[in-house]
Structure 1
Amino acid sequence: MGDSPRSWHLLTGEYPPQPGGVSDYTRLVAQALAREGQEVHVWTPGEPGTFEEHGVTVHRAPGLFLPLGLRWLSRELNRCRAPRRLLLQYVPHAFGMKAMNVPFCTWFASRRQDERWVFFHEIVYPWSLSARPRHQVLAGVTRVMARLAGGAADRAFVSIPSWAEHLPSPIRQRAEWRPVPSTLPTSVPAQALATVRAALGTGPWLGHFGTYGSALRAPLEAALVPLLDKDSKRQVLLLGRGSQPFAEEVGTRHPGLRSRLHSRDSLAPEELVAHLAAMDLLVQPYPDGVSTRRTTAMAGLALGLPLVTQTGHLTEPLWKNSGAVALADGSTPRALIDTAERLLSRPEELAALGARAAQVYRERFALERTVETLLRPSP
């Protein structure tokens, strides 16, 4: 008889109903593994309790990754069936202690009785010589944490290839690039789509999906305002948390466009994708460029939507090579606008771009590809 299969133990700083991309991603992966017949546990901070959800056992405890919580976590893990595989969803700020939780990473490195895997969603705080001293300390400490967790890992995954540069050798050479899939439903019932389109009315409709952080607001406004000015029939729909105040701010600065700026701030996932799918073109600028950790871009690709964006220092070569999105030639709003105008004037090219997006998503990014990788033996 062969060895018994390992039980999976996903360690994450957030899990639904807590909002967040890592929260949604962890639940998707946990439930997908459970559907494959795996024994799956999730360990996450929160109100104390244990419950079953779609074949996954979820364990919550307050301060789970703080020193006192780690004692409880060690005891409870040791009560679970061996052999065990820990799959850490690594985001420094999710572990508490103001993103400097060295004790947790030390604890993880010490669990030699378990197989230790790490998925690095984010890895270090950026370092700059001109940064404030506390930010320089944070940058240094997050690098120590990454080396502790990565150095102890039996297998490591990175959401973008450049994260591997911060890992110690030899795990750096063995780190596997695993793009993050869409954390939203990847299909929309025809009736739901028809209902949204009827409610929205005629377009063309330009969409944006995001969280409207400070670094994005100015370039997004700089792209959308000229696109609306060019054609009075165009409408913009802003989706995601923070979309309503952003729409109000832009409308205040450009009162003539206010009636064509629409927002849906907090839609349920099914409603959100129905509104996304109704868009003619997604306009998705990213300050550091499009990359495979951008779940907002993945949501559009999964639905087969044409998407215009731009490259940056975190952009992987596949975006240019695959043709899954329209890449603006340069990082300026003008480049994004020109690319969007070209697509809007060529309906056949717009449709072909959407079809290519859906194909590339299925082949490279879908949740099924992630599960295949996790269940495949280490390379």
Structure 2
Amino acid sequence: MIGLYCPDVPPIPGGVSDHTLILARSLSAFGAPPVVLALRGNPALFAPMTCVTGLKPTDIADAARAHGVSTVVIQYVPFLFARRGVSPALVLGIRRMARAGVGLAVIIHEPFVPFTRLPWLVTGFPQRWQFGYLMRRASHVYTPLPEFADIARRYTGSGTTVAVAPVGATLPVSPVSREEARQSLGLDNGTVAIGIFSPAASGFAHDWIAAAVARLAPRTEVVWVRFGFGSDRALPGYPSGANVRTVGETDPATVGKVMRALDLAAAPYVDGLTMRRTGAMLALAHGVPTVSSTGHLFDPQLRQIADCEATPEAFAERLERLAGDAVERRELALRSQGYCDLASVEVLAARLRTDLMPEATP
């Protein structure tokens, strides 16, 4: 049986917290319901799956053995385990798992901090040692970024499998119809709704949005829809006025409903589109034509399902063309359907089931 460990699970907010819930549900749908282990959260949200909370990393081994777990998959971001990203308790917990005969797999959302800030010059070295300790003891390592996979391979042993695997959207797809969703936002048939989701997310390219807003200013049919984390903040160059709908930070059902209403999603990131960008993945999961960016972490295979531009000017121009061409929007929407086979959480769940429960795989 597979175990999933994340310090925080819903309703504790956080992208990795949300991902743990949706991954657990996906594994269950594949006939491999996991045992979810956590420090904080509400076990009832995982029912009928087993979820045990109140567990520090040092408690993982005992909890895994008590529930018949053979391998624990740890959701890894260093700051999930300690304020500075360095956790002796995590290292001790991994050591206890090895002694108890409990296998280890790791999903890397972030390996360690770069040496770009003074505090990180201090914490960066122990974070790298901690990361290496996990990598050398894991049988399987998964990450949504090819560059992170390359980093992991430098730390792992010869017997470790390292794979690029998606995170997928961390919120559910809305069952609401497009017509109902658009009516709730006051969008008529002639309106082209362009969504900006969670602009306060780390790495969101604000100047790209500003360039698009300036270029599309003469287009009276365009309505900008701002929703999610930081969407109600005053940001330079962002749209304002009568052609804007601001929903703000809200519940998952409303987020999905707003996604369903969109004609386009504007999702540029300073490091480029990757499979860890769950906001863009949620747009693609809803079949929304998505325009994003390239960058130093950009995953080229995502060109199959989204338009990714190299400059703010090209990004703005692409949005303008799509806003004025319904046929091109439909073609891009059709491409977005490739999300399910390329970048969805179901792809990750299927890989975990195959790798960690080979006896259950037909």
Taking structure 2 as the reference length, the TM-score comes to 0.88
- Find the partner of 2:183 among 198, 204, 209: 198
Letter in 2 for 1:362: C
Residue 3 of structure 1 corresponds to which residue in structure 2?
none
Within 5 Å, give how 1:1-379 maps onto structure 2.
7-38=1-32, 40-46=34-40, 53-61=46-54, 64-65=56-57, 70=58, 72-81=59-68, 84-112=70-98, 113-128=101-116, 131-132=117-118, 134-167=119-152, 168-170=155-157, 174-190=161-177, 193-199=178-184, 200-202=186-188, 203-213=191-201, 215-216=203-204, 218-246=206-234, 257-320=240-303, 322=304, 324-328=305-309, 330-331=310-311, 333-358=312-337, 360-377=338-355
Residues of 1 paired with 2:12 and 2:121: CA distance? 29
Find the residue that maps to 1:276 and give its secondary structure: helix
What is the aligned length? Answer: 350
Shift of 1:173: 7.3
Residues of 1 paired with 2:346 and 2:115: CA distance? 35
Letter in 2 for 1:183: T
Residues of 1 paired with 2:140 and 2:73: CA distance? 9
Letter in 2 for 1:46: R
| 1:285–1:39 Cα change, 3 Å | closer
Shift of 1:109: 4.2
Unaligned runs of 5+ in 2: none
Letter in 1 for 2:306: V
Find the residue that maps to 1:353 and give its secondary structure: helix
Shift of 1:171: 5.6
Unaligned runs of 5+ in 1: 1-6
Residues of 2 paired with 1:51 and 1:283: CA distance? 35
Letter in 2 for 1:374: L
Contact 2:272 2:297 in 1 (8 A): yes
Contact 2:222 2:243 in 1 (8 A): yes
Shift of 1:220: 4.6
Shift of 1:33: 2.3
Report the RMSD for the aligned CA atoms in angstroms: 2.5
| 1:77–1:166 Cα change, 3 Å | same
Shift of 1:176: 0.8
Taking structure 1 as the reference length, the TM-score comes to 0.84
Find the residue that maps to 2:196 and give its secondary structure: strand
Residues of 1 paired with 2:272 and 2:148: CA distance? 15
RCO higher in structure (CA 8 A, sep ≥6): 2
